[in-house]
Amino acid sequence: MSDAPEELGELVRRLVGEGSLTGATISRPRRSDPSRPSRITVAPVDIARSLRYRFTAHHATRTIDENLAPDAAAERLVGLLEHDFRQGLLQATAADWQVLTGKGAPMILRREPTRRQATRSHDRTKRYLLPEGTPVPFLVALGVMTAEGKVRKPRYDKFRQVNRFLELVEDVLPSLPAGRLKIVDFGSGRSYLTFALHYLLVHVHGRAVEIVGLDLKTNVISDCEQLARRIGADGLRFEVGDIAGYEALAGTDLVVSLHACDTATDDALDRAVRAEVPVILAVPCCQHEVMSQLENAALRPLLRYGTLRERFAAEVTDAARAQLLGAVGYDVQVVEFVELEHTPKNILLRAVARPGRDRAKAFAEYRAFTAELGIDPTLGRLLADRLPS
């Protein structure tokens, strides 16, 4: 059932035709193809005093821009949503429109507007969700920005990392429910990204939130809690606790797990799956378990070298996790989190619950994969009772 009186094509052409479209994000590709973009963002720009729409295709290691006239932009948007991607967020002056496409007619849901105006400036400057030049309280307090909003040069990598994380969160916002959002961040650490998530949802999108940052380090939790109170981050709190023993996930809309060491990531994924959390974002860290298990005669030239074995084991572990999440009902993307030169821990697993997914096929592929490599990952054992028989 749709809250909109128009069909998809009519809606897009109206928004573009009347100039009220202020932005769009098209995500969740219908086909898994590393040569194609994982998402496309659209923004109106003024070029030579004429309105154009800039389509930015986001690939794993690059972005590609293309500027289209309004009529061509409308047709491109409709085509992308009908044939290439499963969801879109159309932002306009009067309302947001969440578009979900798949089998059957598209579902179109009207939401409160989150971007009533567009800048329309035509420049090549990187467009960050948290722009440089505008002071962000938590970034100022953490020493990333000056009080005037200038990013400190030694902290620019952290500034880019925060914004990249928020871009990945933006993609899944259409998959989150309306109303107050409940979010748990497992292994929140110094909480740069926890504070960034709060800022994006509350100050950029105007959402009410309940965000809990969980970590084992008492001193770190104390510092983060004090900072949250000092900058007035309502709805954000921090607790000392262990991922595996956390029991308060009922009703959670989003679980975040960033750099939880080794099998702690598996504990976080297991807790999220059992609580039927609709969206999961995980950046794994320090994958050692599978490294000692790997055994494959054809791969011995690779596996005999410690450095190569370690790197391969990390990729195998993340592939197994992604496959297992698919086998319990999630659509999964594996995306680059930050550039490899900044950190080797640059893979993010982004999982969105999708009823009707072919879980049996995903599990069969997982079993063949692990059997070929002689591995028995922790997450497979944790989720054994949730996997297809």
pTM of structure = 0.71
Domains in the chain (CATH in brackets) are 8-111 (no CATH), 137-386 (3.40.50.150)
Mean pLDDT by 10 residues, the chain (389 residues): 65 93 92 84 84 87 83 94 92 91 83 76 62 91 94 91 88 87 93 94 91 94 96 95 88 91 89 96 87 94 94 93 96 75 67 91 96 96 95
Sheet holding 347-353, edge to edge: 236-240, 209-215, 181-186, 254-261, 279-285, 347-353, 330-336
Residue 176: name the closest of 91, 111, 239, 127 by CA. 111
Q: Which pLDDT value is given to residue 372?
A: 96
Structure tokens of 50? Answer: 């004429």
Q: Which pLDDT value is given to residue 343?
A: 45
The strand ranges marked E within the chain are: 21-29, 39-47, 50-58, 63-68, 85-92, 96-100, 107-111, 181-186, 209-215, 236-240, 254-261, 279-285, 330-336, 347-353
Distance CA 215, CA 212 (A): 10
For 289, counting Cβ atoms within 10 Å of its Cβ (0-12 exposed, 13-18 middle, 19+ buried), the class is middle
